[in-house]
Every structure is written in C-alpha cells, then in structure tokens.
C-alpha cells in the first residue's frame, strides 16, 4: 500500500500528475494508483477519465500533502473507494443523462468545516451508490451533505444513511440533500445525527421524489434545540413525493419525518413516538397503509398504541368470527365465517355448539328408528303403519286354528 498525491491538474490516467511514497518519500510514480493505495488530491483538480479502484480517495491534509482539491467525473464511470472529504468538494459529478456513475464504497463521518459536499452532483445523470454514508462529524461547524443531488439528478443508494453532528443550522451536516426535481431511491436505514440542528439523514427540496425501503429514525440532538431539522427525513413545504416502506421512529429532540409538503408522505410500517412524546411524523399530510400501529404517549408518558384494522393484537381473524358479527376495539371489524344451521348438517355431526339434525343421505334415512317417525300426517308416519309381508303373515297366523 502507498499514498499517492496529485502534483498537477490533469487526467487520472496521466502518470505524470502523480507522486507516491512507496519508497518511503514522495517521488514520481511509475504506476497508477492501485486497489490498496490511498489517493490525495493535494489541492489539485483531477479529471477522473478512467474507472478507478483504490482503497481511499481524500482531500484532507497529511504529511507532505496539502488539503483541498477534488476529482471531476463528466461521463459514465465506476469508482471503487471509500471517500474522505475535508474542506472542499471531494468529487464533482458533472455528467448528464443518460450517463451512469457507479460508486462502491463508504463515506465515513469525516471532519468537514466548510460549506462543501463530499459528492456533489451538478449534472442530471444517474448515480448508483453502494455503501454507508455519514454527514460531517465536526460538531459546531456546517459541513453540508455527504451526497448532494442537484436539479434533475437520480440517486440510487443501497446502504445506511446518517446525518452528522453539526450545530450550525438546517443547511448543515445532512447525509443526503435532494435538489429540485431529483429522484432519490434508498434501500437502507436512515438516522439523523446528534448535533443541535441541521443533521437530517435526508433533506428534501422542492418537487423531488423520495422512495425509502428501510427504517427512518430521528435522534435526540444535543440540547434538543431543533427537533425539526434533526428529523430522520426533513422535507420543505413544497410539492415533494415521499414513500417509506419501513418503520418511522422518533427520539427525544428528533422527529422521524418532518414534512409540511402538500403531497404528503406515504408510510407502510409502524410509527413510534419518543418517550417524551415527540412525534414520529409531523407535517401536513400522512397516508398510512394498514395494517400498522402507532405508539403515542399519554399525558403521564405511558404508552398508548393505536392500531389499524388487521393488526394482530389478540382479536380473532375476521374469518374466525360468525358472519355479520361486529367486534374489535371500536366495533370496526366484521366477521365473515358462515356457520350453517343444525338442520343443514348431517345428523350427529358437530356444528356450532350442537350437532346436525338433517337427514341428508340414504344412510341417515335408513338408520332412522321407527319410533322417531312420529310427525303427524308425515310420509314417515304413513309408511310406519303400512302393511308389509311380515305384518300380513302375522295377521293370517293369528286367525289360523
């Protein structure tokens, strides 16, 4: 493993812009950075004109390395590396649609003390990102997001997203910032950061589309000074479409989702308010897909859970309750189990809380005791008294001398 640093602006593929310390000190490189190497931009701009696989890409300072600089991706590329940002944008993606950029790696919570993103999408291409990302972790500064998706861009992310630890307002250490008309698809869990403000895992701007498959959690900010922007997802008051398939959880000082958006938020999952009553969802419109449950707090802060129909909370299923019978916590459920009357069930067969009384087949009728055929004017009574060979013979025998 070696540390590489750029020593001039230029293309990544140009060996002349690199020095490495594989010999113990930085000298002109003889090979391009490889899979186990760490790359520093060293306050230069590098055009990423080839696919890249390295251990780390950084623009912070180190021995013999200056902070700053960044890489630029202008067409479809694949980058395999963990990304560490300092005080400048680490990677700018200017590629436009239909270009596709793939990044496989993590964005750990690095120190970033200025208004710059780690990955800044300025073009409207598609970014497929696989890895976990964290906003700035330097408490007291405004580090902006790990990934910023600009107007019209698409981000498909597989991994967990966390906000950072800033105290500098709601433009700070977000995990992801979604721009106007952007599309954000996330498969993974979202957690806000732990500063006092601006640490949402995802911050959404006007008219973007957000789809999350995973749990969304708002965490308790230090001092609890900004419940709104410390939400797991913070959406502005505009026409945003947001769908969550997963649970939404609040903690003291952080909503799970804050959304005054006019389009509302659709959630398929359970909601849990915090122990002090902070709402899992706060906003203008909410659409729930049942079955679901929402854990509120009573005035004494004990748990009070609300359930939609269909949640298994001790009530029998509708198909186990007699048809037409209403039941449930508010008589909001209706049974669908059809129980036939005893007369429609073969005699002796258990039904409901009795047995069947119907003669439904030849065996039932053949085995009926004669003494049971007593209904006046019935065919059974008539046949019971009809002459048979046996009764006629008995009559004749009785008159014989």
- Is the pLDDT at 203 greater than 60? The verdict is yes
Mean pLDDT of 89-106: 97
Distance between CA atoms of residues 218 and 226, nearest Å: 11
Domain boundaries, the chain: 3-314
Q: Which of 56, 45, 120 is nearest to 83 (CA)?
A: 56
**In the chain, what percentage of residues exceed pLDDT 90?**
52
Higher-confidence residue of 291 and 222: namely: 291
Cis amide bond preceding 98, omega within 30: yes
- Is the pLDDT at 103 greater than 90? The verdict is yes
Mean pLDDT of 4-14: 98
Q: Which of 62-66, 101-105, 273-277, 312-316 comes out lowest in average pLDDT?
A: 312-316
44 and 6 in contact (C-beta within 8 Å)? yes
- Is the pLDDT at 398 greater than 90? The verdict is no
Mean pLDDT of the chain: 86
Higher-confidence residue of 48 and 88: namely: 48
Give the sheet arrangement for strand 303-307, strand by strand: 133-134, 161-162, 190-191, 216-217, 248-249, 271-272, 293-297, 303-307
Model pLDDT, residue 224: 42
Kindly report whether the global pTM for this prediction surpasses the value 0.75. yes
177 and 117 in contact (C-beta within 8 Å)? yes
**In the chain, what percentage of residues exceed pLDDT 70?**
84
- Is the pLDDT at 372 greater than 70? The verdict is no
Distance between CA atoms of residues 194 and 176, nearest Å: 16
**Tokens, residue 25:** 């000190």
| Per-residue pLDDT tens digits for 258-315 | 988 888 899 999 999 999 898 999 988 999 998 899 999 999 999 988 888 777 676 7
| Per-residue pLDDT tens digits for 133-174 | 998 766 555 557 899 998 899 999 999 999 887 665 545 678
């Amino acid at each position: 493993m070696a540390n590489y640093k750029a020593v001039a602006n230029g293309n990544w593929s140009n060996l002349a812009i690199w020095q490495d310390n594989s010999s113990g000190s930085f000298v002109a490189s003889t090979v391009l950075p490889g899979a186990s190497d760490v790359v520093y931009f060293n306050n230069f701009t590098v055009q990423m004109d080839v696919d890249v696989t390295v251990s780390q890409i950084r623009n912070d300072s180190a021995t013999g390395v200056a902070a700053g600089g960044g890489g630029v991706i202008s067409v479809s590329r694949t980058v395999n590396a963990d990304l560490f940002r300092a005080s400048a944008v680490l990677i700018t993606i200017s590629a436009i649609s239909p270009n596709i950029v793939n990044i496989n790696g993590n964005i750990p919570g690095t120190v970033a003390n200025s208004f710059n993103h780690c990955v800044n999408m300025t073009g409207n291409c598609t970014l497929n990102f696989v890895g976990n990302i964290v906003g700035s972790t330097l408490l007291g500064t405004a580090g902006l997001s790990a990934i910023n998706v600009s107007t019209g861009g698409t981000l498909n992310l597989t991994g967990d997203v966390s906000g950072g630890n800033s105290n500098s307002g709601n433009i700070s250490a977000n995990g992801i910032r979604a721009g106007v008309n952007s599309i954000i698809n996330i498969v993974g869990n979202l957690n806000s950061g732990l500063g006092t403000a601006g640490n949402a895992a995802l911050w959404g701007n006007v008219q973007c589309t957000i789809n999350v498959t995973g749990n969304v959690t708002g965490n308790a900010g230090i001092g609890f000074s900004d419940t709104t922007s410390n939400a797991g997802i913070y959406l502005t008051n505009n026409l945003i479409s947001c769908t969550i398939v997963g649970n939404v959880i609040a903690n003291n000082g952080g909503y799970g989702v804050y959304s005054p958006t006019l389009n509302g938020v659709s959630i398929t999952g359970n909601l849990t308010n915090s122990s002090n009553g902070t709402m899992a969802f706060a906003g203008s419109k909410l659409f729930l897909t049942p079955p679901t449950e929402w854990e509120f707090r009573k005035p004494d802060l004990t748990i009070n859970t609300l359930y939609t129909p269909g949640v298994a909370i001790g009530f029998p299923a509708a198909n186990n309750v007699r048809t037409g019978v209403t039941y449930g916590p508010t008589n909001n459920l209706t049974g669908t189990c059809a129980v036939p009357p005893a007369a429609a069930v073969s005699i002796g067969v258990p039904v409901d809380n009795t047995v069947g009384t119907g003669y439904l087949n030849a065996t039932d009728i053949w085995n009926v005791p004669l003494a049971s055929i007593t209904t006046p004017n019935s065919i059974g009574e008539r046949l019971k008294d009809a002459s048979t060979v046996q009764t006629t013979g008995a009559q004749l025998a009785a008159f014989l001398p």
